[in-house]
A and B are shown apart, each in its own frame.
Chain A
């Protein structure tokens, strides 16, 4: 079955809007991370968040490991937030990240 599932697949926002991205992960996946792939293709670490809540500026993330989901919150979105947001977790052996298919975010001014 699907190990890491993200929703929604696409999101279009006006600048200034808030959004929530969701990641569901299976029992075989742990140690969630969130990445932003910008329009130039660079994969940037946002959060390493196996559990709990972290905040960094306008972004915050919460992982509820017992319920196998993680949420990424973007507040007061800006055009520079556009790109693809991936969540990923370790496989059972801890030898690879299993990536979701991503949420493509487009923020327009």
Chain B
């Protein structure tokens, strides 16, 4: 059945390193979202794409985070340089209309 896939599932890195997370949305979905989940903040939106165009990235620290959709089957979220406070689970979701379907997440640990 159709699912959102994310890679890697787990990432441990050292402060200052670049981190790239990838997402494959469900075929036919035209919206893609990146969320971050932490114990303190819960689930919060980082970026939103519709038809591959970035529409909202106001939740993303612009100095170190960037999100792109090079094509309809791939969305990327990059952190450069990474910091310990970036440790969290990063979820990608896709949808068509209002309903959103989430991937399994990337658990990022920055030491």
Could you say which of B44, B55, B89, B99 contacts A95, with CB atoms under 8 Å apart? B55
Most chain B beta carbons < 10 A, residue from A95, A96, A99, A102: A96
Chain B's interface size range is 20 to 34
A29 to B78, CA, bound (A): 29
Cα distance, A50 to B55, chains bound together (Å): 23
**Residue contact B104 to A97, C-beta cutoff 8 Å:** no
State whether A101 touches B42 (Cβ < 8 A). yes
Complexed CA–CA distance, A94 and B98 (Å): 8
Q: Dominant SS at the B interface?
A: strand
The distance in angstroms between the C-alpha atoms of A88 and B99, with both chains bound, is 10
Q: Are B45 and A97 in contact (CB under 8 A)?
A: yes
Taking CB as reference atom, which chain B residue is nearest A97?
A: B100
Q: Which residues of A contact B107 (CB under 8 A)?
A: 41
Could you list which residues of chain A lie within 8 angstroms of chain B, going by C-beta atoms? 31, 33, 35, 41-45, 48, 50, 86, 88, 90, 93-97, 99, 101-102
20 contacts between A and B (CB under 8 A): A31-B98, A41-B107, A42-B105, A44-B102, A45-B99, A45-B101, A45-B102, A48-B98, A48-B99, A50-B98, A90-B98, A95-B45, A95-B48, A95-B56, A97-B35, A97-B43, A99-B43, A99-B44, A101-B42, A102-B42
